Structure formats: structure tokens, C-alpha cells
A and B are shown apart, each in its own frame.
Chain A
Amino acid sequence: MRVLRTGTAAGCLAAGLATAFSPAPAAQAPPDKRASIAASSTTAVRQWDALTQSMLRSGELRIRQVRDDTLIAGHVNDRADQYYRGVRVFGGDVSRQMDAQGVVLSLFGNFYSGIDIGVDPKLSADEAQVRAGELAGLARGPDAPDPELMVLPLDGGGYKLAWRVRAVTDKVDIVQFFLDASNGDVLLQYSDREAQTTVGRATGVLGDNKKISVSGSSGSFSLVDRLRPPVIETNDMKGDPVRTFNYLSGAVRLNSSDLAADDDNNWTDGAVDDAHVYAGYTYDYYFKRFGRRGLNNNDIRIRNLANPVRRTQADLLRYFDQFPDFFVNAFYAGGGDVVYGVGLPPGFTLSGQSWNHLSGALDVVAHELTHGVTEFTSNLIYRNESGALNEAFSDIMGTSVEFFFQPTGSGDLKADYLCAEDVVKPGGLRSMENPQAFGDPDHYSRRFTGTADNGGVHINSGIANHAFYLAIEGGTNRTSGLAVQGIGGGNREQMEKVFYRAFTSMLPTNATFSQARAATIQAARDLYGSNSNAERAVTEAWTAVGVQ
């Protein structure tokens, strides 16, 4: 198969035309050729339109549709289908965009050449109907649409004369069958049922009930959110750590059977539910707060993987040593993929704490997705100070998302300055208000300088976390004794924007704490002016945590 990209050199175009439409001996060229057209330059449009006109005159192209351009007054768009000896070629068509004078401005399409097959079917249309009914498991009704005889370009090359029959199956699917017009064999079939977007109910890890945006229709729903600009999908790995690992390592691809599914749109697996819902919330937060469109600011797909193992004692004993992150961690795997560990089975603890599904905490989900934002912005190197800043930014944004969606307070589903406290109990994993409560430094002088934890990325994050906390809430740093006048919780949006701007637009990949201080101060000046409360608060905060 040959794909031609036009709109550049005329020489290339000419070669493409000759290749696509000049008769060629079978020994010298593959039996099928597809010319993929995307012509927008004057030269390319002129040449392709000349060919189009020629094909229209010869009947190889037939106009299917002419429509006024609803976006540009006076312009007209038309579409023409390719025919071979009077039989339509599946997938062969061209669309032209014309101005008010009928001048073609651009032209897109696919033409097939090298077709050399008979067009007299041995199988009749009625026989094709019957055959489709057998395949669908339902007899075809008298008003079923007539089969259409088509030339089908085969994926493996070549062409076949086929009956195209659209049939409803006994599984309430709508399937396009392409039946070999000589013997009724299925040459191609695919579901033609367009996914419907709908809203269902979900129960989260903590038993809370909420809305969930899904795709599907009666009897078959899947966790694909199409209401938001990016596709957000959540896969239920069904306790298969090997498949999860193989996907992450690139050995296998996920498919539709991996998507979390439900029959009645009443979702009860909290692990997949929360991963899906909270990923949506996180996208909403970034959009509403910063106008950001997802992780890469271009609505890259978000793909959640939940239940990489089963939350059972058997799986814990069997897989924990090999896949500890599938239990007591959640991680951003790059490219929009996030994996959520299942925690520990009831009755098991780690360092005296119980672990529920990690996706059950909004701040955890937002934390992981923020790693994606970092990946596509400052791309802070995940070691030493830059790594600690990377972690801190995820904690800061995770906490900010909590405050955006949840009421302030303590306990489940409340916004506070603890990290993962809803699923790791008691207390969570880190505190931004008092990092020392978890053994993390609250002052630069106490920073971890060893090599463990990539140079203390989850430890030294406490310094920046605490600076963020002090800049909002104010207070006195326990180590330096320096007091900070925060901007107040009612103005937290200002500090969120200051840190977002600094961490996504200013910091270099190998940033230091000192650079983070300078960048956030500059961001505060940029956003709220010199000597603003935001600038004063963030300056005092960094000074209080010992960062100059």
C-alpha cells in the first residue's frame, strides 16, 4: 500500500499520479494501491482536481453529496465516491471544499487503483441477506436495508467483490458484514454501533456515591469518558499483574476487553470508579483553574489501570515481592497512563497503616496526573532537588484539587494538607502542614542528602510542600521559628496559580529549590504585581523553610 502526501513538490505529485493510476504489470506493482490525498496548496489542488474532474466525467467518481459550508458563508463542500465498473469502492471517496465561485480550495480523499476483478456476483443479494442473518443470529426482517455490492480493498492487499450488509445481531450489536460475493465468506466485519455517552452512578472506594461519565448503551457500558475533551478511559486489569506489567513494558496492547465494564451502569468497583471519576475531576480542575487542557495541554488521552492485582492475601503473598507497586503505590507511567495499586488486604498493615485502593483518594489521583503535567512542561528530573520539586508539585496540585472539590475539614473526603489520608490510615503519607510528623524535613537545613529514594524525592518534597502551606495558611516554621503571613485560604487560588506558573512555565528540568523560590516569587509578581500579598507571602514562606 502506498500513501501519498501531497501539497509539497509537484514532482512528487506527478510521481504519485503515475503510480496510482497508470496501469502497471502485476509483477512490478502490488495489486492494490491507495492514494491518500491531502491537497491544500494551489499546485496540488489543481492537479488532484484535474484528476477528480476526469474521473467524474468517466464515471469513476460520482457525486454523493453537496452541502453549503455552514462555517463559511458562500462556500460549498461536496463528496464523491469512487466506482469501479459501476460498483462502489469501499473507502474510496474524495471531499472538495470550494469557494463561492466554485474554485476548489482544498481536497482530501482516498483513491484506489489497480483494481482488476469481475463485478458479477455469484451470490445474490437475497442470499447475502440470508447469510448475514445467519451470522447475526437473527433473521433479517422484510424492511432490512438491501445489501450493497462493493469493491472491498483487503487489509492484506488486493480487492474482492463483496456484499456489504448491515445487520443487528442477537447481542444487540450493529455489525457491518462484508461477504464474499462469490461464496458468502466473511471478508470483513466490524461493529458499527456508535458509542453513546452517558452518565451512570458509581460507588467509590470509601462508599461514597457519585456520578460517572461512561460510554455505552443499554446492557453494555464501559469506562470511557467522552464528555470531557480528552478521552479518559479506565481499565480493569482484573488482578492480572503480568498483563499489567506486559502492557507497561510495551509487550502487549490493551484492548476493549480491558476496559472496565458494567451491565447496568451502576458501578460498584470502587477502585475503577474512583480512578475514573477523580481523573475527570483533575482534568476539570486544571481546565477551570488554569485553562489547561489536560496533561499535555492538548487533551492527551488519560488511561487509568486499576486492579493490577487482587486485594487478597493470596495475591499479596504471591506477588508483593515482584510487584510491590501494584499494592502500595500509584504511579504515573508516562504518556497519560496511571497505575493504581490496590493497597493491602483488610487486616494487613504496613508501618502500622492500613492501605485501601490508592485510587480512592482524590489527592492521590491528582498527584499522579500532575506528574503527567510535569512530564509535558518542566519535565523535572526525578532525582535530587528537581525530583523533590517534581514530587512537591504533585502534592501541591493534589491538595489543591482536594480543596477545589471537597469541603475543608478532617476525615474522609475532606480537603486538608495531608496526602493520601483517605486511603492510608491513620494519617496518610505526608503532611504539608507539618512534614516532620512523617519524618520529612520542613526546612532546607534538614534536607535529606543521601541517595535513597532517588536522592530523597519523596522526603525533601516536604520543604516545598511546607512553603506552599505557609504561603496560604501562614504560621511559624517549626525549625526556623520564622513566622509567615499567609494569603489566607480564601485566596488559595492565587498561590495555586503562582506555583502552577512557576512549575510549568519557568523551572528548568534540573531545577533547584533556590530556583523554585525565585520562580514562584517572579510568578507572583507577574500575576499579582510587585509587593502584592502573594509575592510577600511566597517570599516569606521560602525564607521560613530556609530556601534562599
Chain B
Amino acid sequence: MPAVARPATEQIWFTVNVGIQATNNSFDDAFDLTLYTEPEHVTVNYPARSGLLIAGSGAYRVWRQLFVGGGVTRDNASAHAQVTAQLPHPFFDNTYRNVEGTAPTMRSEVGAHLLIGWMLRPSRTVRVMLTAGPSYITTKQPIVTEVTFTETYPYDTAQFTGVKTNENWRGALGFNGGVDVFWMFGKNVGAGGMVQFTHARIEAPANAGRSVSFDAGGGQGAAGLRFFF
């Protein structure tokens, strides 16, 4: 059946979803600290990660099939950053000990989305909602600020033991766009799935006045209940 627009009768629309957020937005960081009077070079790769997504949204029909509303997404994704460091030797200039390791850098992300939607009614029980709008995404991303290590005389090698991180909630404006398809199996209740893409560019504080920029959001797929009134 072609997706012919039919007049919407639903006035209010709510969704509750559980799914995943998948991204390819890994990012790298590189910085220098001072150790034993020389620069200590540190590089960090924060890998892309997928995590559990919890989403909810609601919208109000303002004109024909046009809905305006909002949504909230919450995503937690664990990942391990790859950390390498060149540690200056305590006695000799230009003599570095290379250490590497991983560090847990679980990212939490909350997105608040303004949804402007257009509802299609391809059948009596099926609805399709196309949405788009601006988003405000906040993240709590641990940023590696220091490498910890052990060393013993004669200090020609060192052992990676972990990292110190700086983590704060930081937010930025972005956008969202997606589609929600659902089947109404009751007068006010249905089930459906949504695919959405959200994005924002976050700038998070690191160390010594330095900040790190990275992408937040990503592709989101979730399924859940739909409520209509």
C-alpha cells in the first residue's frame, strides 16, 4: 500500500524505546606533559563504541499531520582508550621509555531533541513519523590527563599502571533526524521502532586549560511502545 498521507486523528503521541546507539566517532588526542624537565608525549585513542540507548519522546499535532514535540535519549557506552606515552628518563635527556596500556573511558550521553514531525498513515493501523530538529547533547566523557606508571632504578623501562582522567558534563547544540514506524494494536497503544541520527560537536576540558573536541550522538535504533491520544 503506498504511503499516502491521510489526515491524522491522533493528537498526542508518546514513545518509550530501548535500543542501541552505534557510532564510528572515535577520536584521538595527543598532548605533552612535563616530566623530569622534559616533555612527556601522550597519545590517546578513544574508540568508537556502541551502548545501550533509552529513549522517550512526545509530540503534539499542531496542524494536519504536523507534530511538534520533544525527545530525550540516554546512552551509556563503555570503551577502553588506547594510551601510549613516551616517558622521559629521570637522568638523561632525549631518552624515552615507551609505555602503553588501556584505560576504561565509559561515556554517558544525554540528548534533548526538539522534534518536528510529519506523520504518515500508510494503513489503518500503521503510522510513520518523520522527524527532524535541533538537539542539545551533553556527554560525560573521561578525558585522559595523565599517565601513571611505576619505575625502578635504573629507570630504563617503566610500567604503565593507569591514567588520571578529567570528566565533566559538557553539552553542545546539534541536530537530529529520523523515522519512527509503528503498528497500533490498540486504540491508544502500539509498538514500533525508530531509527534516528543525532549529532553534536562537544568540547570537553582536559588539562592545563586544554580542551578536546569530539563528536557526540550517532545512529540510534530502538523499539518500544507507542501511545496515542
Contact = CB atoms under 8 A, between A and B. Distances in A.
B36 interface: yes
B155 interface: yes
Contact of B153 (A210, A229, A281): A229
Contacts of B37: 199-201, 211
A409 B90 CA distance: 26
Interface of B is mostly: loop
A213 B90 CA distance: 8
Contact of B90 (A199, A201, A229, A288): A199
Interface string B76-93: 000000000000001111
B153 A280 contact: no
Interface in B63-116: 90-93
A211 B153 contact: no
B154 A280 contact: no
Interface in A178-217: 199-201, 210-211, 213
B91 A213 contact: yes
B153 A228 contact: yes
A199 B36 contact: yes
B86 to A, nearest CB: 16
A211 B155 contact: no
Contacts, number: 28
Contacts of B153: 227-229, 287
Given A199-B37, A211-B36, A211-B37, A227 B90 contact: yes
Interface in A68-106: none
Contacts of B155: 227
A288 B91 CA distance: 14
B71 to A, nearest CB: 48
Contacts of A288: 154
A210 B90 contact: no
Given A199-B36, A201-B37, A211 B93 contact: yes
A284 interface: yes
A461 B137 CA distance: 79
Contacts of B154: 284, 287-288
Nearest to A228: B153
A23 B80 CA distance: 67
* A200, A211, A280, A287 — most chain B CB neighbours (10 Å): A211
A213 B91 CA distance: 7
State which size class the interface on B falls in: under 10
A228 B93 CA distance: 17
A284 B37 CA distance: 20
A416 B92 CA distance: 21
A490 to B, nearest CB: 21
Interface string A222-234: 0000011100000
A280 B155 CA distance: 13
A281 B154 CA distance: 11
Interface in B185-223: none
A496 B53 CA distance: 67
* B91, B153, B155 — most chain A CB neighbours (10 Å): B91
Nearest to A197: B90
Interface in A276-329: 280-281, 284, 287-288
A210 B95 CA distance: 12
Contacts of A284: 91, 154
Contacts of A200: 37
A201 B37 CA distance: 7
A211 B36 CA distance: 8
Nearest to A405: B92
Given A227-B155, A228-B153, A210 B93 contact: yes
A147 B30 CA distance: 48
Nearest to A201: B37
Interface in A149-181: none
A280 B92 CA distance: 11
A200 B155 CA distance: 16
Contacts of A201: 37
* B36, B93, B155 — most chain A CB neighbours (10 Å): B36
A329 B91 CA distance: 27
B93 to A, nearest CB: 6
A278 to B, nearest CB: 11
A284 to B, nearest CB: 6
Contacts of B92: 211
Nearest to A229: B153
A280 B89 CA distance: 14
B48 to A, nearest CB: 39
A269 B169 CA distance: 50
A228 B153 CA distance: 6
A401 to B, nearest CB: 14
Nearest to A200: B37
A288 B154 CA distance: 8
A358 to B, nearest CB: 22
A476 to B, nearest CB: 37
A201 B155 CA distance: 18
Nearest to A284: B154
Contacts of B36: 199, 211
A477 to B, nearest CB: 37
A200 B153 CA distance: 18
A67 B92 CA distance: 39
A200 B38 CA distance: 10
A52 to B, nearest CB: 36
Contacts of B91: 199, 211, 213, 227, 280-281, 284
Contacts of A210: 93
Contacts of B93: 210-211
A87 B217 CA distance: 64
Interface in B22-50: 36-37
A229 B152 CA distance: 10
A199 B92 CA distance: 10
B55 to A, nearest CB: 48
Nearest to A281: B91
B87 to A, nearest CB: 12
A213 B36 CA distance: 9
Contacts of A229: 153
Q: Give 6 nearest A-B pairs by CB, closest first.
A: A199-B36, A199-B90, A201-B37, A227-B90, A199-B37, A229-B153
8 contacts: A199-B90, A211-B36, A211-B93, A227-B91, A227-B153, A280-B91, A284-B91, A287-B153
Interface of B: 36-37, 90-93, 153-155
Given A227-B155, A284-B154, 11 more contacts: A199-B36, A201-B37, A211-B90, A211-B92, A213-B90, A213-B91, A227-B90, A227-B153, A229-B153, A287-B154, A288-B154
Interface of A: 199-201, 210-211, 213, 227-229, 280-281, 284, 287-288
